[in-house]
Structure 1
Amino acid sequence: MDAAKEQFTELYECHHGDVWRYVARRVGASDVGDVVADVFLVAWRRLGDVPAGSALPWLYGVARLVLANEARGRRRWQELTLRVAAEPDQLVVVDHADGVVSQRDVAVAFDRLSAVDQEILRLVAWERLASAEAAAVLGQPRATFAMRLMRARRRLRRQLGVSGDGAGRTSSAAPSMSNWGG
């Protein structure tokens, strides 16, 4: 085993339990493993920065920053969800003659989609990228992205209880999916 691996293994074995408890006192049980893994990933990447003799306080500092990033991410997600719910015209064009899908229904349906489907729809609907541009963002061929977009739209419609008529249009009692790239 080379010196870096040996140093990291010793660091991990000596301090994993302490870091685990530090994180567990600050987040829910389901998130502890991910946060601790991120802490030790940083430790591995910055092994040369770990101070000799005071590694545990340094690891606690890294854990604090990882936790802050996690909290910031959750806060941004909540703010985005509230913004989406407050601006329905940005997301769904509703056929008022036949009914309205509530903002909450759209948010719930969107949350039920996979992270991949959500990102595909965000790129097209929220960022207003053309398929070719969105494909470039994801590093995919345009045809692959187009197929994934079609499937993501279909899954969102299914979550909303909207059926398509086979011609790319939705039933008359459902919201238009045009702002979702459809």
Structure 2
Amino acid sequence: MPVRECPLPGHCHYPDIVRYSVRRTADADAAADLAQEVFVVAWRRRDQVPDNCLPWLYGVARRLLANHRRAQHRAPLTQPFADLLRPAQADHPDSVAALTDLATALDQLPDIDQEILRLIGWEQLTIEEAATVLACSHTAAKVRLHRARRRFPAALSLTVASRPAAASRPAAASRPAAASRATATSRARPMTPLTNGADHGQQ
């Protein structure tokens, strides 16, 4: 496997690693610190960094996060996806509610299911790249993704069903219910990779 021979392997991916980290933490400063740790590891192991280094860097970040979680007695590190988009969606309560439901449902899944859905849905990795991050085979990654996508709709249905009745109704009474449903559906589409089988590189 070819290796990179630049002074700081993968340095151009620093913003990607920060985004990866901040999506899994509630602290932007901690995410930046973690990204720095990732590149310290990359520097020390620069002779092992592959040409396509981003999945490798994600794998390092994932292991460092796991170490920090163990050190903090598995304190929650996942920032809800709805919180990440809240500034852009603040004027659309129905859209924020839909994103909150998606984040809540995702949190109900086993850790490995959550991670592969995030890698495919958030980081837009292929199955092969996700397998590199998870340190597993291409086949194992496909099986994990298939299993996670089967479990996610059930978790989402349970989340929606458990909401208080008032929270389930559209807040804006001025527009027809059908239009509200159509709008909420269209705004939820960015998360469809969580359940849509047509991911990058799955075939």
User: Fold conserved (TM > 0.5)?
Assistant: no
TM-score by length of 2: 0.37
TM-score by length of 1: 0.41
